[in-house]
Each structure stands twice: as structure tokens, then as C-alpha cells.
A and B are shown apart, each in its own frame.
Chain A
């Protein structure tokens, strides 16, 4: 059996193309809330769509009417097309930022009406967005894909002036920068094609340091102790059997892990390593209090108590043999703690949102949304 690694990054990138978990607390003004169709008590859902078809969409679930509306962006903005591959959706103030990966741009809409207002153009394969405040935001971008070797070069973080929606500066970081998070004036960027987290000073937009973690850091979350958690996928190695079928070699792969990082010293406090080799943990999502972190590992949802020193031994949500992308998106509703999972059946038909009980992990109900739901914004 020969070791084939050239597909590795390709397949890793496939695995990493999911997971846009956005968590924003934006509902402390319920009495005097903003006006608009989508400012209501509900959830915005980002649907990735199938690559090259430009059929990404936004859905809205209303808690009041207990019904879902699909194609919300289209409904408001037709004939305007949202774009190709909605990788990530994030809110800052009254603006909604929709990262359109294969359109090379971020679409900016009013967060309450979804009316398209502007776009941040000139980006190459943008992945995730984070805003420091109403004036400044950051976008991670993958760069330099070489079709011959399936490898990427170093990516970058674009600094965006959110008043003019233009890129003012780019910062070269590691390979395939994925999720990013701002904590205490620092921007943390996971370089999923390597083994580092880049730390950028948001006042100067200069790199301060880089923290070495396990291979393939892909998502991060801040807990109530201001500890930064980073999930790393480990290295997944593919192999070929006698019948020329491809499979993930558990033997040759390395395990994933969760790393805890002290945000004052920017050093790794401890690393919790999984016992199983190939599956990759990801989509770290905190609850409202920040005392629990939810993540997806081996097509199951697990909970990590932030004060525990070991990994959980049993998953919270275990659907047994389940569709490969049953947890394409993960969200925790702040008020109720209800777990929202974006279930992608395939990329040709619409997916589902399945809601789970936060205590028992039992499926509560489900509703149908657009193609490949991957993120949630709770209003």
C-alpha cells in the first residue's frame, strides 16, 4: 500500500469547508428592538449552496409563527444573486456580513431587513469574518492553491474599513487561515494548513506572536475564564486498499486535540488529545455562560465542561450511522441552550435544521432550509 498524501489537503479542505458557527448576543434590547422583518424573535440560517452554482441562500426561522422562510435574501433583493458558497455569516451592529467564498467577496446587508447595501470586493477565497467594532473587520483568505500539488501557500488576513467596505491592509499569516476570534484587543487566527495560531494586535494590525498547537487548528472559542480553546484536526492520511478504494488510514493518521490557551501570556496551558486517530474535532461553540463548549467529533456532538481536565467520554448527540454532514453547522441558542444542527443531505437538495435538547441530546424537531445549512444567528 502506498501512502498518498496529495489528496490529503484536498480532502482536508473539503472537511474544513464546513463549520461556520457564529455566536452573537444581540438580544438585550428586546423592548425597543430594531425594526425590520428579520429583527423578529427568530434565527437566521446560512445555507452554503453547491459550489459554482451560486445557489447559496439565507433562511429565517420565526419563533413567533414557528415557521421557516427560505430564500430570504432573494425575497428581499431579487433579481440580485447572493453568490457562490456562503461560508460564514456574522453580525456587527446593524450590519450582516455574508462571506461568499467562491464569489471572492463579502456581501453587506442590513441585519434587520436583509436589504443588500454594499460588498467588500477584491478578496480571494474568503473564509471567515470577525469585526472589532463598527469601523474595522477582518477576513481570512486562502491563497496560492497549486492544482499540481494540491497545496496552498500562506494565506492572509484582510483588514477591512467597515465604513467604506474596502480592504485597507493585508497581513500574511499561515497556510489556509480558517476561523478567527477577537479577545482582549487581540485577533487569533487558526492556520489550518499548519500548526499555529497567529496573534495580531488589533490596534496596530501587526503580528505579535504565533502559538504552536497540534496540526490543523480549525476553530476556536473563548470560555468564561477568558481561556481560548482551539480545536485541531490532526493529520488525516488517506490510503488505497487492494481494490483501489480510498479510505482514511487510522493507523497512519494522527489524533486531533483541543488546546487551552492563556490569552494573557499567549501560551498553551494544556492540550486534550483524542484517543481515536482519524476523526477531526471542529466547530467549537460556547453556550451563553461560557461554561460549556460544544463541538463536533466523529459525526457526533460532544460537550466539554470548561473546568474539566479531560475530554468527555460519551457524546451528547449520537445519531448512530448518520448522514456524513449531519452536523454541517452547529449553533447554541443563547436563551434556551437548544442545540441547532445544520444537516446537509447532499449538495443537490435542500438540507434540514435539527434541534436537540441541551440536556438529553435528544432530537426535538426539524425544519427544512436551503442547500447545506452551515451557520446560525440567533435574534
Chain B
């Protein structure tokens, strides 16, 4: 039992300061996705969860489901994605597709809103998504099998198994997804707008995850995490555009090993990783491959003194080898960064964090990224708690390889981006018996210099350009209430975001100043409800995405849309085993909508599933 006690002890040292993602993020907004939601919604992808439960805006190129996240009016390249603490953003595109992994392969998802370059490195300008592999604390064997069948030829299967012993724990997971996406839509690209079946949105995906953890000694743990995903997706043409049979194949292999050791000097963590990201895009006129190997090492040391302060120092090294057809040659790049994160709790009611990161990239001189944050428990009265938070952070993004090397269009003179983010917020908590009410209000302002935007400079190719200064500012409001009433467990969430993202200074010309950037909705609102009655669970999500402009001159726009999704689960217990039957419907109101211009999205869909759980 000694190991377990040690593990628990180590966990406790971290818990002093709250959840791991929040330790060095005083005063900034970090939300952890509700684990009940993740466990019930296992057939969905990470993108689905972010879409329905966070203010993150997911840009999707249509029904094939490629979904890239954007925070607070920034673009998808301004989102850092970390997997077990390592930045996994692919260096060619600088963005990550959130539809590649289903929720069953992920232990937890946390979302960092706003800049956090000091903590997460390049790209964390708008925010960061923190994915963690499942950790197994309960000993024994467990397994889970799920089969779902849905509208438009959708089949989803997943299976996972885990074993946790005294020293070793092993987890394995796999999934398979096939979807025809052959839904009907009105083709307004043709005279008369005939009803047509989508025939260019077929999807085939599969993936595996593997997590092994080995307690070498009382103080030392070794873990291996692996992730392989393969996606073959057709990309539908816009209404009215010729079908060029566009197809995208993504293959991502991510392997990492992590060694954790605790001593009198604190916690030592060394991570080493190898990633391979392969992308093949083909259509009638193109055959383009991107094949990138990333080697990454990160070492960090965390020292925690009592419950007063904690200091973490670390070093991150990255080496990229990019074989990209579009570059015409192999490109190699090394990046390094050093960081120092400091958390200080001068009193029980106040915590502060001061973080600093300096990146080193050949040919660039990234500015240091500091963070200063404070979280003050301003009021504690009866059942009420009110926190005041504030945070100032710097962030940066090293230009992607495509931005520099792609031919034609790559811009060797492109400058890296640099941002400052200021935010303040209030967090209110109210507890009365089983009733819990938690509300948050944040206002932020973000200034990004040399914001990079790809623009079609000629009719045949795009090129990245630096906008001199972009200002994004907005309000985020969210509330969550939960209670237990007899056999009922009720939870409701509501959120609203207002995002004004504008170019405020331009290198040349002035015609696009002070206009909302394309594809950034001013308003986004969500309502969610989780109702459980004995063995029944009902999940409901209502999301409203407001009007988005499709161009930087704000001359054309796409109307807002409201989507409702519902899922009903019934748990059947057979001895120690469980069956969970589910019925799920997306776009319940059968709304005709588009996320991007002239790209019709699926109408109402229905899916039924059966899940077998060995706990």
C-alpha cells in the first residue's frame, strides 16, 4: 500500500493549490470539463465537448468534421494544445484538429482562456487546451465497449480496457468511425435549388491510445503514453463550386515517456516525445503531402514550500524535421525555451503567480512572455464566496513553417506574433445543502502585434500577411447550478460571450480598420442541462452562435444559428456489469445552417448506442 499512499501524498501536495492546470494560473480563467459529461458523451469527439460546453469557437470546414478551436476572437493558430504537458501543435500549420480523438481516450480536458505564453509556450495567445491521459487510481481490471449507429450512415465503435496493479497500470483504447454523411440539402448553387444528397463528405477514422504507468519505487514513476489516429475525410465543395474530389488524410502518431521523481528537492519531471504528423491533401489539381517528425524534451523541477509557495523551473527543446511537398525541400528547425513559474500564497485568501518564459528560435528573437496574476477571496460570508481575479500575460507565436516556406505564397519576411492580454473577473460561489451555484464574469482585452492572416492575394494562391495590431476584447459570463433532490440530480449551465475582434492599426491602407475580423461571432450563448433520475440521464445542449462576417470589410455575413442537441441514457445493471443504452439527436430542430460560407451542414440526426461497462 506504500506506493498508493505516496501517490496520494503527491497528489495532495498539488491539491493544496487546486487542480494541476490552475496551480500557476492565478487570476486567469481555467475551466475543467465536467467529468460526468465526458463519461456520458464518450462517442463524441473532443470538438463536440468543446463546442457544447465551452465558449471556444470551432471552425469547421463542413460536415466532414474537421474542427479547429479558436478562443476569444483569435484564430485557431492562437490556440496551444498540450498533451500531458507537451505542446503538440504541428509546426507546419500551427493548429490542431479536435475531431481526431473521441472522448473515451481522454482522461481530462481543461481549457485555459486567454494568453498564457509563459506557461504553455508558442501559440498560447488566445488560449490553450490541455488534454491529459487517463490516470488510474482504483486497482483492478475494467473494460468498456460501445457501439453506436446513427443517421447518414454513421457507425462508431470503441473499446477500452485497463488494468491497475500494485506497480503497473495499463490502459488501452481504440475506436473506429465511419460515416457516409449522405444527408440531403438544397443545392442553391444550381438553378432552382434542387434537393441533392451530399456525396463528398465521407469519413473513415480510427485510432488507438495506450497508457502505461510503472511505479519504479516509492518516489519514482515512469509512464508511457501513445496515441495513433488515422482519418480519411472527403472535403465537400462550396455550393456552386465544382466538385474537385478533395480529400484529406491525416495520420498522427504521438509517443511520449514521462519520468516523475520526488525528493527533498521537490518534484522532478522529465518528458521525452516523438511525434509524427502526416497529412495528405488531394483533389483534381493537387497532391500535397506534409510529413513532420517532432522530437521534444522537457525537464522541469517543482519545489513546494509548505502551503506558501511553489516554484517550477524548466527547459523545453523541440526539433522539427519537415518533409513538405509544398516547400520543395526538407526544412529543419530547432526551438528552445526556458521557463520559471512561481506561485505564492501570502495568505489563505490571496494567491499570486508570476511566470516567465523565454523562447529561442534561430532567425527570430521572440520577446519574453511574462504572466502576473492574482486571485483574492474578497468576501466570504455565510454560504457566499466572492473572488476577484486579475491577470496580465504576454504571449508569442513563432511563425509556422507553412507561413515561411510554402511555395507559392510563403512569406519569408513574415514576422512572429506577439500579444498582451489583460483580464479581470469575479467568481461567485454559493452553497446551500446540496445546492451549488457558481458564477463567473470576466472582461478581457487582448492586443496582438503582427497578427498573421492568410489572404488570397491572387485568385490561385494565398499568402500570409502581418496585420499590424489586432485588438480583441470581450465579456465572458457563465453560471452553473447543481443540486440533488431525492432521486434527482440536476445540473444546469449557462454561458454568454461577447467578442469584439478588430484590426486597429495597419501597415498599409486603412480601409479594414475597426471592423470585426472575419469568422469571429460577436455573440455566442449556451445553455446546458444534465438531469439524472435514478438510472436515467438526459443531457441537453442549446448553443447559439451569432452572425459572422465572411470578409474583413464586413460587407457580407452569415446569419446566426441556434442548435439543440439531446441525449438520453438508461443504465441497466446486471450483477457487477453495466449496460448503458443511449439515444442521441443533434440539430433536433432541423435547422438549415452553415458555419462557413456556402457549406451546408447536416440536418437533424439520430443515433442509438449500447455501451457495456465492466467497472
Contacts and interface: CB of A to CB of B under 8 A. Distances in A.
B407 A14 contact: no
Given A14-B458, A119-B191, A345-B509, A103 B408 contact: no
Q: Chain B's interface: helix, strand, loop or mixed, by majority? A: loop
Contact of B556 (A18, A71, A80): A71
Contacts of A145: 284-285
A113 to B, nearest CB: 15
Nearest to A348: B455
Contacts of B550: 53, 55
Which 10 A-B residue pairings sit nearest by Cβ, starting from the closest?
A: A347-B456, A84-B241, A83-B240, A54-B238, A54-B240, A349-B552, A349-B553, A17-B459, A54-B598, A14-B460
Contacts of B465: 346
B613 to A, nearest CB: 45
A340 B150 CA distance: 55
Given A81-B189, A246-B408, A17 B556 contact: no
A104 B597 CA distance: 19
Interface in B231-265: 237-242
6 contacts: A10-B408, A54-B238, A54-B239, A70-B555, A244-B412, A370-B555
Interface residues of A, number: 52
B240 A100 contact: yes
Interface in A55-85: 55, 70-71, 79-85
Contacts of A97: none
Interface string B454-483: 011111111001000000000000000000
B193 A80 contact: yes
A251 to B, nearest CB: 20
Q: Chain A's interface: helix, strand, loop or mixed, by majority? A: loop
B238 A14 contact: no
A368 B553 contact: yes
A246 B455 contact: no
A348 B188 contact: no
A80 B597 CA distance: 13
A27 interface: no
In the complex, which of the residues A13, A52, A85, A147 has the most CB atoms of chain B within 10 Å of its own CB atom? A52
B286 interface: yes
Contacts of A348: 453, 455-456, 518, 551-552
Given A55-B598, A103-B240, A116-B191, A349 B461 contact: no
B191 A80 contact: yes
Interface in A106-125: 107, 116-119
Contacts of B512: 349
Given A54-B598, A245-B412, A349 B240 contact: no
B457 A324 contact: yes
A90 to B, nearest CB: 19
A85 B186 CA distance: 21
Contacts of B241: 52-54, 83-84, 102-103
Nearest to A145: B285
B553 A11 contact: no
Contacts of A17: 458-460
Contacts of B556: 55, 71
Contact of B460 (A51, A54, A147): A51
Interface string B547-575: 00011110110000000000000000000
A333 interface: no
